[in-house]
A and B are shown apart, each in its own frame.
Chain A
Amino acid sequence: MKILVAVKRVIDYNAKVRVKADNSDVDLNNTKMAINPFCEIAVEEAIRLKEAGSADEVIVVSVGPKACQEQIRTALALGADRGIQIETDDIPESLNVAKLLAQVVKNEEPGLVLLGKQAIDSDNNQTGQMLSALLGMPQATFASELTLKDGKVQVAREIDGGSQTLSLSLPAVITADLRLNEPRYASLPNIMKAKRKPLTVTTPETLGVELKTHSTLIKVTPPVERSAGILVNSVDELVEKLKNQANVI
């Protein structure tokens, strides 16, 4: 069985996010970029399934400009087998990504498609769901545990107030939540091997997908800076201020 994993290039979770001076977007110039942490968890899960003998090949796909090959290489260094970059000028919005991925899934026919539950840059939490709808495949989002058994996949998913276990027939689309696993560090031998692993580049045209714009980014502003706090002398004063000054109670 093949496993296909989608990974997104995003700003590194450690990096300080700056907004461009003209408020047109987040300033990514010279900012450290990385694999979206949830996608990294998806990659780790795929590699573990392969190591357990449940899969023969792990394919990593990323949509974006050439730079996203770095994230594909990182996934290859973690143990994925081959990479596909779908070349676009910017990283397009979720529905376009889902359509592009759907086409790759049709070509590659994986038994399982893994994605992160959301990307930490735009936090949309859409692509996996859209992909499953486009492909007509069963979906399990927010996966925190995943077991393959008798041609089915059992997924424990995180829901409000607890956990829900689903059994899905394959092929299926699953999105990874934080607790699914703890990703490994790349090993030196795997980093060296990653260079030799195949990475193919394709385009939306080749895949027959027309990119459409459904939303426009109007303005990005940094969150308001927190102003200094004040010390109150009594509970009464606190309540009074919360009522009349902060207007929260």
Chain B
Amino acid sequence: MSTYTPPVKDASFVLDQLVGLDQLCETLQLDEVNTELATVIIEEAGKLASDVLAPLNRVGDEKGATVADGQVQETAGFADAYQQFVENGWATLTGPEAFGGQNLPNVIGTAVNELWHSSNMSFALCPMLSQGAVEALIAHGSDELKAQYLPPLISGEWTGTMNLTEPNAGSDLAAVAAKATPAGDHYKINGQKIFITWGDHQMTSNIVHLVLARLPDAPAGVKGISLFIVPKYLLDDQGQPAELNDVSCISLEHKMGIHGSPTCVMSFGDNDGAIGYLVGEENKGLSYMFTMMNHARQAVGLQGLSISERAYQQALEYSQERTQGSRKDGSKIAIIEHPDVRRMLMAMKAGNEAMRALAYRAAADIDHAHQGDPAAHARVDLYTPIVKGWMTELAQELTSLNIQVLGGMGFIEETGAAQHYRDARILPIYEGTTGIQAFDLIGRKTVYDKGAALKALHADINDTLTQLSASYSPQLALLQSKLKTALTHATAAGEWILENSASTPHTLGNVSFDNLMMMGYLTGGWLLAQSALLASQLTTQDNPYGDAFLQGKIATACFYAEYFLPRVSQHADTVLTGLSSTFALTTEQMQGA
């Protein structure tokens, strides 16, 4: 079984140097919050993550949740761990003070969430979903609903779920068919939801389901969906969970990974109709989902980093212990000394650092956007599909490399390498598939605003190139040259997209994936080049990181530039072809006709 050590130093470096956390906290008027405090928070959270949550990761994989009589029994040990998580206040981290939260910036929440997901992604999905419910209520709930549901959701005393998907409504939520019927001060909800993460469990005294459903007279399609709160237990006069609502888990899915996270088929209204309360206004449910989407999608992108970091730590440890081959003097060679193994380890390290830089920057831009900064808002919109789409796709490659480093042992379940790989596989699927992210990026985020946000990003990258040019260091020169080439290709591809977006109905869809991956590798390379610049400036100053770390940052950025940045040009080349042969075959021809 692999252990987990929180990457405190890199997290602290990214927060301090790349995010400018101290400055951000001043803008947010949080006097007592700064990088120093954030680092202590990450260290302390890391203790719970590595001592309590990480050892349960394997347990959840081997003995997933079970269901009987509509009630889910979660993996043994999860309830105690959840209790500790809540007692130590971790659920309250970013919640508003008025409802019992600690009101810390979203970016600190992101840095801490990285640890929960690395140590035990199945477990961490539960508080992650609760956070989604909290966001929805804060943004759109009435004062009464907020007063009733927010404090116990923020403390973690209750958990939350998101009930969107139905058998016929997956990527296309406009097809939601669950029904809501007005019944006095509430609604009766009837219908089935599938794939509901942590839809039921016994860890808390109540569960708050957020459910998308349709009113009887609702317009068809996207404009006819409303959002409801459906508590597992209805509240009594004191606001305490009392009578069981007409909602239950009718079965659990057997999955490829995240076995510790119950994925429930939920049935609402088998008997009399589940009692639900409208959130916000009627027929606005889907637009509410969109307001929360940036946060939710970034949260899943972050999981891509988390699981890859865990995989890297395992590969790094194993590669130092496993010996294959001997030197002339007879001494054994640890596999970490073999160049190809090094390549894999460096790919993992460089990929992770790029993802961390991007995830934290995008998270901090959510904080800036909340302050009403329009440029930050545009960046959030542009970064979000990259964080979700690219990071979860890269996680597939990096968790697979872990298996490769372990060789045959990687393929054997005992080592746990296979679990990380299997767990990672859900990430490009839920919360909007890669296809959906890719189309969001190329459509709404690129063509729709005529490339404005894209050009702003290109300009930011150009600034970094200018700074890199001012340096005499051969390493920074290498970064400059590789990043410049990448930017040139990406710019050409971006212009091609803007010019040809309407040339055929399929053009954007054809190239959307390559555009997504191109943008991901480019942004990652840009942020690592910035990290290298900052690190090289720091080496001449008194700093808390130490030379070995800073030189490591620069060298890791160089590896990324040599290994991953050329992929920008490769994906750009594909974009420039328009992939016009995608639809060259008829379905019959694809069947071999």
Contacts and interface: CB of A to CB of B under 8 A. Distances in A.
A195 B37 contact: yes
Closest 5 CB pairs of A and B: A188-B89, A187-B88, A186-B44, A30-B546, A187-B89
A75 to B, nearest CB: 12
A185 B85 CA distance: 10
Interface string B568-579: 000000000000
A9 interface: no
A14 interface: yes
B5 A29 contact: no
A196 interface: yes
Most B-side CB within 10 Å, residue of A30, A185, A186: A185
Contacts of B89: 187-189
Interface string B42-84: 0011011001100000000000000000000000000000001
Interface string A171-214: 00000000000000111110110111000000000000000000
B319 to A, nearest CB: 15
Nearest to B47: A185
B559 interface: no
Interface residues of B, number: 22
A188 B92 contact: yes
A8 B147 CA distance: 46
A99 interface: no
A189 B87 contact: no
Contacts of B40: 73-74, 77, 191, 194
9 contacts: A29-B548, A74-B40, A185-B47, A185-B48, A185-B51, A188-B45, A188-B89, A192-B102, A195-B37
Contacts of B51: 185
A188 to B, nearest CB: 4
Interface in A59-83: 73-74, 77
A190 to B, nearest CB: 8
Contacts of B37: 191-192, 195
Contact of B41 (A30, A191, A196): A191
B32 A195 contact: yes
A188 B93 contact: yes
B32 A191 contact: no
A13 to B, nearest CB: 12
B557 to A, nearest CB: 19
Nearest to A15: B5
Given A30-B549, A195-B32, A188 B87 contact: no
B157 to A, nearest CB: 15
Nearest to B84: A185
Most A-side CB within 10 Å, residue of B5, B44, B47: B44
A191 B89 CA distance: 10
A188 B5 contact: no
Contacts of B88: 185-188
B90 interface: yes
A77 B45 CA distance: 12
B548 A30 contact: yes
A29 B547 CA distance: 10
B87 A187 contact: yes
Interface in B91-112: 92-93, 102
A1 B293 CA distance: 54
B331 to A, nearest CB: 11
Contacts of A192: 32, 37, 102
B84 A188 contact: no
A188 B548 contact: no
Nearest to A228: B332
Nearest to B50: A14
A22 B433 CA distance: 56
A77 B41 CA distance: 10
Nearest to A193: B32
B546 A191 contact: no
A192 B44 CA distance: 11
B87 to A, nearest CB: 7
Given A29-B546, A73-B40, A191-B41, A14 B47 contact: no
Interface in A14-29: 14, 29
Interface string B494-513: 00000000000000000000
Most A-side CB within 10 Å, residue of B40, B48, B546: B40
B90 A188 contact: yes
A77 B88 CA distance: 11
A195 B102 CA distance: 14
B3 to A, nearest CB: 8
A97 B546 CA distance: 29
A73 B43 CA distance: 12
Nearest to B48: A185
Contacts of A14: 5
A74 B92 CA distance: 20
